[in-house]
Amino acid sequence: MEAKRKAVLFDLDGTLWDSAQEVLLCWNRLLSPLGRHVTKEEMDRLMGLTPREIADAQFPELPPAERYALTERCLLAESPYLYKRGARLYPRVRETLLQLKKRYFIGLVSNCTEDYALAFFHAHGLGGIFDDHETAGRTGLGKGENIALLLRRNQIEKAVYVGDTAKDQAAAQAAHILFLYASWGFGDLIGVQPCAERFSELISAVSSVLES
C-alpha cells in the first residue's frame, strides 16, 4: 500500500479531550497535605503548557529546583489515574478520526509527558488510530520542533496541525505547516481561519485545507 503523504496532526488537551477536571483531582490529592490547592481556573490556564512552563506559572514563589520537582510529582500522579479512567473526549472524536484515517496519516504532537499521551491512547482505545506521536516529555523539544521531527520521520509532504491555542498556531508556523483552529478548546483566538467549531467539522475542514 502506498504511504500516506498528507497528514493531520493533533494537539491533545483542548483539542481531543478535556482532562482538566481529572488532572485537578490528582493534583489536589497530592497538594492538599502540603497546604496547597489549585483551582479549576488555574488548571485551565495550565493545560497545554510544558512541564517547566507549568512549574513557573503555578509555583513562582518556590526556588526553581523545588518548583520543578513539585510539578514533576503532580504530573506523575496524573497518568495512572487517566490510564484507568480516561477523561472527557469531545463529541464524535473516534468516528471523525476513523474517517480521516481512511485518507490521511494521523499523528499526535503534545507538550505533555509520554505517559500522559499513552494514558489517553489506552483509556479510550485510540492508540491504533494514530500512526505516530511525539511528546515534549519524550524528546525535551518544543512543540514546533516535535511537529517537524514527526514529519521528517514519516516523510510527510503536506500537513495541517489541529490545535486550540495561540501556542499551537505558533508551533505550526514554526514547523512550516498549516494550522486549523479548534475553537471548542481552551483558547480564545479571534478571526483565525481555517476554523472548526465542532470536531465532526474537521472532515470537511481538513479536506479543504489539504486538497487545495
pLDDT at 1 over 50: no
| Residue 136, all three cell numbers | 515534549
**Residues contacting 152, CB < 8 A, separation 6+:** none
The model's confidence at residue 202, banded by pLDDT at 50, 70 and 90, is very high
**Residues contacting 40, CB < 8 A, separation 6+:** 20, 21, 24
Q: pLDDT of 34-59, one tens digit each?
A: 999 999 999 988 988 888 999 999 99
Q: What percent of the chain has pLDDT over 70?
A: 99
Cα angle value 143/44/101 (rounded, 5°): 50
Q: At what angle do helices 51-58 and 64-85 cross, to 10 degrees?
A: 120
pLDDT at 201 over 70: yes
pLDDT at 31 over 90: yes
- Mean pLDDT over each residue of the chain, to the nearest integer: 95
Please tell me the distance from the alpha carbon of residue 74 to that of residue 71, in angstroms, as a whole number: 5
pLDDT at 91 over 50: yes
CB count in 10 Å sphere of residue 112: 28
pLDDT on residue 2: 52
Please tell me the distance from the alpha carbon of residue 41 to that of residue 77, in angstroms, as a whole number: 20
Single pTM value for the model: 0.92
The CATH code of domain 6-18+87-210 reads 3.40.50.1000
- Phi and psi dihedrals of 44, rounded to 5? -60, -35
pLDDT on residue 3: 64
pLDDT at 95 over 60: yes
pLDDT on residue 198: 97
pLDDT on residue 207: 96
pLDDT at 193 over 80: yes
Please tell me the distance from the alpha carbon of residue 39 to that of residue 41, in angstroms, as a whole number: 5
Beta bridge partners of 52: none
> Please, how many CA atoms are within 13 Å of residue 110, restricted to the half-sphere of its CB?
25
**Among 38, 9, 18, 49, which Cα is nearest to 166's?**
49
